[in-house]
Structure 1
């Protein structure tokens, strides 16, 4: 997969280049220091994927992504120090939204999602006919999309994480952001299929590959795509009971804190 990097911070480019050197099947074909240079290089080099900072001189990464959203041949992953652009990022159908400093496991997961999208794996989003309510009880959640709202079947969601006043719905090929709370979603997800593993995360039972111990009392759910989701200590006993057959589970609930994503 051919990748273009765009960031006005030289050290950020060095870090991304270093991380990508350790991942198989990728080639960095170009680097840009501002949005206009990134746009020119994308036109000239035709990468499969662009890793874009958001705040860049001349043209922002968000503005560039909006233009690229009309070109399905180039996928976009945002890499930024700011978390308050997440809603805009998923409205332009970005593959993922990574916060600096980027961890290699998180980057690898995002690249795998980009590959699946490019290969046509998984269903394309189904747009809403009208722009009414963000959620419904009949097995789906409506999420913002660049063309309005998109229908996200609950059966396609691998895991859900809280992000301030929003939740992120992660499917195998894309992520969606919805203004909601974890408690409000709990009643819509139904019993059994989605398991709450912390105050800030749900996982789909069938998406879980294993559960690993972390430290003396903690544990982490590992999804089939390699995503690691930390189990909150107050949820540990219930999670251990549900997934006992998978092995590698600590049945001890630990202390009084609670964690979200690993």
Structure 2
């Protein structure tokens, strides 16, 4: 049985550990290295000449796209990009990656990437040049530079985050629904899943509350309970309750209680209106 020499690249220890756990369930995968940054990944790839690399896109210093660009070998390993943002996933396919995985990862999605990699390895010439991939990377770099022209490093990060925050990618198996953040009314947590309420419809998203908060526009989305986020622009009425709590009226019939631990955000919102 052919085994794919595989390298994991991610700056988050928990993400590396989870991906390693899933990959070890596949006997076709020979995990030869784990790297916590781009520089380690480049060195490991040069020394071990892997068949497959799972690469996080957003890493400090050398990001995932740069890792691929700096590989010195003329023979390109297969690449599966990992990202929390759908925008980067689309760019990953632009450079002919085998697959992408939207974070947070799940076992089923990793298995699909492994199967795709095995199929690609079986059907594609092992001496495939990396030239087309490098050409695509150059185009992506030019596109990003055009979007962020004139911005310094801190401004680039802020602008990139602003661009990404306009839509939320909600993945359900192979279907990805793009939702405008402004249209979201509120969100509540149900275990490892988020219920995204939009104009009377509810979309289910596999994520943690902390992870989702990192994707949402912090100027309009506020956490009002340990398991609830609201879009303050959707609040129609606010009813003060006992013990400093509030009851938020959103839409036709949604009523959301603000717990005392999170009341500061709503008090500041009320104060904006005098």
TM-score normalised over the length of structure 2: 0.44
TM-score of the superposition, structure 1-length normalised? 0.46
